[in-house]
Structure 1
């Protein structure tokens, strides 16, 4: 949403740099208020952001104050909404809609292109969009207890490699390689987001890219096959430069077959 952000305390110059306030889709609602809104006030509503939140402002639960956190490191403010009831805080008051302006790292990954750009952003130099090594901003994920990735005679530059990978005699540049990926001899991977495997097929490499030329691929996901070369022929160059829409991307989805039913 494009607004005049000078109302948030920004000067004219910064307001021009930060004109948008997208919703993060995060809502904090007390239980009794939620039941009242959904059961009594707006029983036919299907969407919180476009129906319930605008609806509560029309019945008097309007903002009393907006809290703004300012930062030069982001281009936009992000908004989280809160609905409170019975609060005695002098700022929030009882039964009011409040907004919290978040200026930390946040990216919308609702499209394939956005997902690709967000992942490749961690390879930026000298400062990535988000760091996994910042003690003050820790990242939590599901532990998988995989062995470290093994690289044999590989040329890997400006890239992030996940756990449990085997990479040998190949070239990888400006790419993100997901966990449990196998990149074999002669493969060239550039500007690519290669999503790995959440599960491992017993004795079958998930993405054995042998003699493949993969460039500017947005998303490749695990397919239940011995090699991605079934879908990307040898020496196949897939250059996505110049495309603006997302219809050209073939998503190789995770599937389980009778031939390989064992996952762990």
Structure 2
């Protein structure tokens, strides 16, 4: 007799109603969840002695071993139990535009946090938007409230799925804070959760009827992440909520929500920005995350990234019924949900930075110029997108450039650029020295004749004038810095407000305001 191979379920893997059956009886059928068990191991020919084929119902086929079958040649293989694969078509993302951005002031004086330029030619909103697109997520909502004009303009120019390339039923919807009938509709967003709550009716719309999971994202982080790996972990653990986490050191732990987890990865305690004794109580042995003993000693906390996955029905229930008065995910919704729901932690193992302060913004930008950088925008498989500007290549004339990023459309003439970023359309004149500086660039060009006319009238053109020395500085867009200027903060001032003179100092970093004019010979 030819050998036959039969895949069977172990008795304890069968539904309770089937456990009394012979192991080889049900190898294919329509009972609930049968699609999770493989049947490809059944390879007996239809006319093999010992097999009788029975039809039970319209679509159920069973193979039954008769008593004269030689059981010694039967091989039983345990099934592979697989959870469903995450489908990006059933996932939507909500990107939070953030509040007033006071910690990033003055960069947020006329723009929303996600609209702040980064890396020479990008904006912060490009990070979560590109991560969504690279992850296959095409249903994207952006919630905005403060200074949203430039953000809305950038989104409409860059991520218009209705023109050019089409992404099936994908869309990018900007949901600006607005007033609606009723008491709750007469106020602005009170927090991250309240922002989502005020648009809860949108997430029940026909466009999102097939959405099973919703990813909540922040618009002011720098990282590269495949959100579908995140969602897959959420599905694998059958979580109601999953929180993306990173190991954190002592110096910054109090700035984040901290979690404790059990051996299964379930979050058992969540504390938002704890201080003092509460902070020390959140220390854990992070070797459970796979860290070495040395790294675990240096990173004794598990910090929330502020990136979450919710089951859609769970999110809507929490916001509408369970916690209708809770306004923030990190400080209210998540800590409360930990007690009643399956809230899982997802360990993110790559670079991540919260761009929440002037110092973190400055340091993260300059870190892009280092070799090798901890993070870079250059990756052909997962590119970062931004608004197409159609600018010419940068023109460089007898310059010294060391560890720098020079964006497109710039003019550099016999200058020195070291450990700095030079943004789009920047102009650096003869003798300029730029060191440890983030220059955002300009929104427009001035022609040679316009520059000559401005100089003839004693005015300062856009860009940096001759023989100017700048160090440890952020230069916002369209700034006009004259000749023979020195910006070094030699006195080491940590905080200063000089808006009438065109600058602020934050954490020892000089910030030149957007559209500011710094006159010839100024020393800061």
Normalising by structure 1, we get a TM-score of 0.71
> 1:166 maps to what in 2?
411
- Structure 1 residue runs of 5 or longer lacking an equivalent are 62-95, 257-264
> 1:131 maps to what in 2?
376
> Would you say the 8 A contact 2:421–2:438 is kept in 1?
yes
Choose which of 464, 478, 486 in structure 2 pairs with 1:208.
464
Choose which of 390, 394, 418 in structure 2 pairs with 1:149.
394
The structure richer in helix per residue is: 2
For the residue of structure 1 that corresponds to 2:338, the secondary structure is helix
Give 1:240 shift.
6.3
Choose which of 336, 351, 360 in structure 2 pairs with 1:55.
336
1:6–1:44 distance in 2 versus 1, CA, 3 Å: same
> 2:50 maps to what in 1?
none
Distance, in Å, in 2 between the alignment partners of 1:158 and 1:116 is 15
Find out whether 1:100 has 2:346 as its counterpart.
yes
- Structure 2 residue runs of 5 or longer lacking an equivalent are 1-257, 259-282, 451-460, 496-505, 517-524
> 2:86 maps to what in 1?
none
> Would you say the 8 A contact 2:494–2:507 is kept in 1?
no
Give 1:194 shift.
1.1
Instruction: Give the CA RMSD over aligned residues.
Output: 2.6
Distance, in Å, in 2 between the alignment partners of 1:143 and 1:220 is 22
1:19-59: per-residue Cα shift (whole Å, max 9, x none)?
2322221122233222211111111111101110011112x
> 1:109 maps to what in 2?
355
Q: How does 1:1-264 map to 2 (within 5 A)?
A: 1=258, 2-58=283-339, 60-61=340-341, 96-125=342-371, 127-197=372-442, 199-200=443-444, 203=447, 206-217=462-473, 219-223=474-478, 227-229=480-482, 234-239=484-489, 246=506, 249=509, 251-254=511-514
**Size of the alignment, in residue pairs?**
213
> Would you say the 8 A contact 2:289–2:347 is kept in 1?
no
1:122-144: per-residue Cα shift (whole Å, max 9, x none)?
1113x112233334553333322
Distance, in Å, in 2 between the alignment partners of 1:99 and 1:13 is 22
1:250–1:133 distance in 2 versus 1, CA, 3 Å: closer
Distance, in Å, in 2 between the alignment partners of 1:186 and 1:9 is 51
> Would you say the 8 A contact 2:407–2:422 is kept in 1?
yes
The structure richer in strand per residue is: 2
Q: Which has the larger radius of gyration?
A: 2
1:82-124: per-residue Cα shift (whole Å, max 9, x none)?
xxxxxxxxxxxxxx22221111121111111111111111111
1:51–1:150 distance in 2 versus 1, CA, 3 Å: same
> Would you say the 8 A contact 1:215–1:240 is kept in 2?
no
